[in-house]
Amino acid sequence: MWCRWCRDVSAGSLTDRRSQLVDPALALSPIDGPHAPGNRQAPQISSWTSSASSEQGGDLAAPGVHQRSIWKRRPEDGGPVSAEGAPTDSAVDGRGLAVAVVAASWHQQVMDGLVAGALRRLAQAGVPEPTVIRVPGSFELPVVVGAVAPAHDAVVALGVVIRGGTPHFDYVCSAATTGLAAVAREHGVPVGFGLLTCDDEEQALTRAGLAGSVEDKGAEAAEAAVRTALVLRSLDPPG
């Protein structure tokens, strides 16, 4: 006895049956779709960037495969940036906390802005003289942050990695991010994450806290570190 599916196949209606399972508005025919011979066109995305970019390991859809993407405007085009969702808590009081700032040295203009922003926010929080240590690059941040974490209540890690033409960008970003997270877990010391991972220098400058910048990631990382240190202190009161 044949099942209905078998009858459909034998009747040559397999394609028809499969098409009923797909939203016709989303279906792309390999003949009529944008990947058909002589019909290939670059997507018209202007200054928009995809959330499924190669920075996150995303790939373009294979021919004939529908892929949905979420597009965000770049800040230099006047679109939204992550700071638009920042918390609006009152001023933080970090008096008495021992804080270290560990900063990379590549891309001096961007780094000067990040460090200045972090120091400015720490001073506003009552930490006027943090320990400041410079390292060569972002890849070296985790080992030095790990070395100073035991003697401090919080550490602010600052760096910038700008995409080039090789996978080097992805390896450095991944190593620095996972390394800093591991340090925080191992020592129970909050690490403010001020590592910029950008497609180009313009994106980095937009986030560096300089005159004309849209965001101040150095200040944000410093405040996050102090606030988290205060949370940890409240969970384990002295005595």
Q: Which of 35, 66, 107, 168 is catalytic?
A: 168
User: DSSP secondary structure string, 139-178?
Assistant: GGHHHHHHHHGGG-SEEEEEEEEE--SSTHHHHHHHHHHH
- What is the spatial distance between Cα 160 and Cα 207, in angstroms, rounded to a whole number? 10
Q: Is 168 a known active-site residue? A: yes
DSSP-derived pairing of the beta strands 71-73 and 48-50: antiparallel
In sequence order, what are the residues at sequence separation of 6 or more whose Cβ sits closer than 8 angstroms to the Cβ of residue 227? 89, 92
- What is the spatial distance between Cα 84 and Cα 98, in angstroms, rounded to a whole number? 30
CB 146 within 8 A of CB 114: no
> Which candidate, 93, 98, 114, places its Cα nearest to that of 198?
114
Catalytic machinery residues: 168
